[in-house]
Amino acid sequence: MNWLAHILLAGPHADDQLGGVLADLLSMTEARQMPPGIRRGIALHHRVDASGDAHPAACASNRRLVDANVGVRPAAAGIGVDMIYDHLLARDWARYCPAVELGTFTARFYRLAAQSNAPIPPKARMALALMRQENWLESYRDLAEVRAVLGRIRHRLSPRAAAASPLPMAADVFADDPGPFEQDFAHFWPDMVAHAASFLAKEAIG
């Protein structure tokens, strides 16, 4: 899953939410220097990723991208599915998080991230600031933006890997037939919510 899902699954605490994003921005050494709450959020991110990657619904979505014969390779299909699932979460936010509007939720996260006193390295701070400035999280509602993000991810791959897997095509496959992906996500999300809640209950701090 991508960052919007990780933040929501992290629950109400700011450090857990921040850890859900920093898991992708910090080295292992940097992660170990974070306060306990952020380290717990980082650990949750990795647990959720492992559970999500193995979930039958996510595996089915991966196969849909590969079987569409648009060039998305199995090794890269998960990246496309992560972005499609964050798109579905943002698009149908009222269904999955009726207690708070998406704009309110994302604005609160941006504010908490900016105000954090944790020893976040400058490069990660810059990424968080850019996320806020460009409102990445809420932009996932727009499938065109999802396609653009996949394009940027592709450009960060090696030339060989980028040529071997045209990631933006994942958004096109979804647009052509969204129903199966929507069904996959509807089965996937409740299990992730339960998995995250169980982890946070067991790893309660203080």
What pLDDT score was predicted for residue 157?
A: 61
171-177, Cβ contacts within 8 angstroms, sequence gap of 24 or more: 171/80, 171/83, 171/84, 171/143, 171/144, 171/146, 171/147, 172/70, 172/147, 173/64, 173/65, 173/68, 173/70, 173/72, 173/80, 174/84, 174/87, 174/143, 175/143, 176/68
What pLDDT score was predicted for residue 179?
A: 98
pLDDT tens figures, 46-86: 999 999 999 999 999 999 999 999 888 888 899 999 999 99
**Cα separations in angstroms, 203 against 18, 35, 135, 141, 196:** 16, 14, 31, 32, 11
Q: Give the C-alpha separation, 169 to 173, whole Å.
A: 6
Kindly list the domain boundaries of the chain, sorted by start residue: 3-202
Q: What is the mean pLDDT of residues 150-160?
A: 72
**Whether the predicted pLDDT of 155 surpasses 80:** no
| Cβ atoms 34, 9 nearer than 8 A | no
**Whether the predicted pLDDT of 162 surpasses 90:** no
What's the whole-model pTM score? 0.92
Average the pLDDT over each of 12-21, 32-41, 67-76 and give the range with the smallest value. 67-76
**Whether the predicted pLDDT of 184 surpasses 70:** yes
What pLDDT score was predicted for residue 165?
A: 67
Q: Give the C-alpha separation, 116 to 10, whole Å.
A: 16
| Cβ atoms 34, 119 nearer than 8 A | yes
pLDDT tens figures, 96-121: 999 999 999 999 999 999 999 999 99
**Whether the predicted pLDDT of 160 surpasses 90:** no
**Whether the predicted pLDDT of 141 surpasses 80:** yes
Q: Which residues contact 109 (CB under 8 A, 6 or more apart)?
A: 7, 17, 137
Q: Give the C-alpha separation, 202 to 70, whole Å.
A: 43
**Burial group, residue 120, by CB count within 10 angstroms (0-12, 13-18, 19+):** buried
